[in-house]
């Protein structure tokens, strides 16, 4: 399975902060924002990841992330000439995806909660069996989001983009798993009234074919769309509290790579030495020295 992090756009909701820098490299407590969506793909066992960025921002990501080897993964970089809708990512990534299943996560989305790896594995298994999966999170203002309509057994029976009268309060988060052929499906999406290739339209195509499933992120789970100053501050505060309370690091890419068997102990210790002047480096060293007792906080 391949993975895509969509990190394009101009971040206008965060101006003036993002007038000269991509929002996805902004700080979320102790690491760049983009670490969090990458960690989601890595927890799903995805090693080959494309980072889709604007032409102006691509070099920022290359400086921050490199080729992925320091985390045990492989990064490819793809330019999005203009932001023409989320479904465009699969068209731009067609050669990268090839004949594989593909998961996509938005570069400003943070997911954290119990059993997350199990939820991701369910979605991956769905994709391998020809089914797409979307992830629902209950919100108080569903009019602002794409919404999934569910039946009494939590099966998806409808998807709608920012409805005036929502049929559910479960929004569709910025994480999607698709089976083989998603690039060809995306190429059939007709631009909306906004002139964009809407991800909701793509999901509706799978729904009409009977191939759309939902995973609900229920009580105890946290999801942040960090595209506004308030949500960015909330994410920073949450990560700070959770890490200090549990003595862990959320979205530690080196740890995930190491425990997935993609990064060896020497590479982990080399990263720990490079970052030795802060808590992140000390945490990596502890993982290497106490590997039998450390578990990823999922």
State pLDDT tens for residues 187-206: 999 988 888 899 999 999 99
Residue 135: pLDDT band by 50, 70, 90 thresholds?
very high
pLDDT (0 to 100) of residue 291: 60
Is the pLDDT score of 298 beyond 50?
A: no
When pLDDT is averaged across residues 45-69 and rounded to a whole number, the result is: 96
Of 288, 224, 292, 278, the residue nearest 31 (C-alpha) = 278
> Where along the chain do its domains lie?
2-133+174-263
74-122 pLDDT, tens digit each: 999 999 998 889 999 999 999 999 999 999 999 999 999 988 999 999 9
H and E: helices and strands count for the chain? 11, 13
CATH, domain range 2-133+174-263: 3.90.550.10
The two structure tokens encoding residue 45: 């066992």
The full length of the chain comes to: 298
**How large a percentage of the chain has pLDDT more than 90?**
77
Q: What is the DSSP letter of 180?
A: T
Q: Quick one: pLDDT at residue 174? A: 96
Determine the pLDDT at residue 62. Answer: 96
């Amino acid at each position: 399975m391949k993975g895509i992090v969509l990190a394009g756009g101009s971040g206008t909701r965060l101006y003036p902060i993002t007038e000269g820098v991509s929002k996805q490299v902004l700080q979320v407590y102790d690491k760049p924002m983009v670490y969090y969506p990458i960690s989601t793909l890595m927890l799903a066992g995805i090693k080959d990841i494309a980072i889709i960025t604007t032409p102006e921002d691509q070099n920022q990501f290359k400086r921050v992330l490199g080729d992925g080897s320091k985390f045990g993964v492989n990064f490819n970089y793809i330019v999005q000439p203009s932001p023409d809708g989320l479904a465009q990512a699969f068209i731009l990534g067609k050669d990268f995806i090839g004949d594989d299943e593909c998961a996509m996560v938005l570069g400003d989305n943070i997911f954290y909660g119990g059993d997350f790896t199990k939820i991701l594995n369910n979605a991956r298994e769905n994709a391998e069996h020809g089914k797409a999966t979307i992830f629902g999170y209950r919100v108080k203002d569903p009019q602002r989001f794409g919404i999934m309509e569910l039946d009494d057994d939590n099966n998806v029976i409808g998807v709608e983009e920012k409805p005036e009268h929502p049929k559910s309060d479960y929004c569709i988060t910025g994480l999607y798993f698709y089976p083989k052929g998603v690039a060809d499906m995306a190429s059939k999406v007709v631009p909306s009234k906004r002139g964009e290739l809407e991800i909701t339209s793509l999901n509706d195509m799978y729904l009409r074919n009977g191939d759309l499933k939902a995973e609900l992120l229920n009580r105890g789970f946290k999801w942040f769309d960090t595209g506004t100053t308030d949500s960015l501050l909330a994410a920073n505060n949450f990560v700070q509290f959770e890490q200090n309370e549990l003595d862990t690091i959320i979205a530690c890419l080196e740890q995930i790579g190491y425990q997935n068997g993609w990064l060896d102990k020497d590479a982990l210790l080399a990263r720990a030495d490079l970052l030795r002047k802060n808590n992140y480096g000390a945490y990596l060293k502890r993982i290497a020295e106490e590997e039998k007792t450390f578990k990823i906080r999922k």
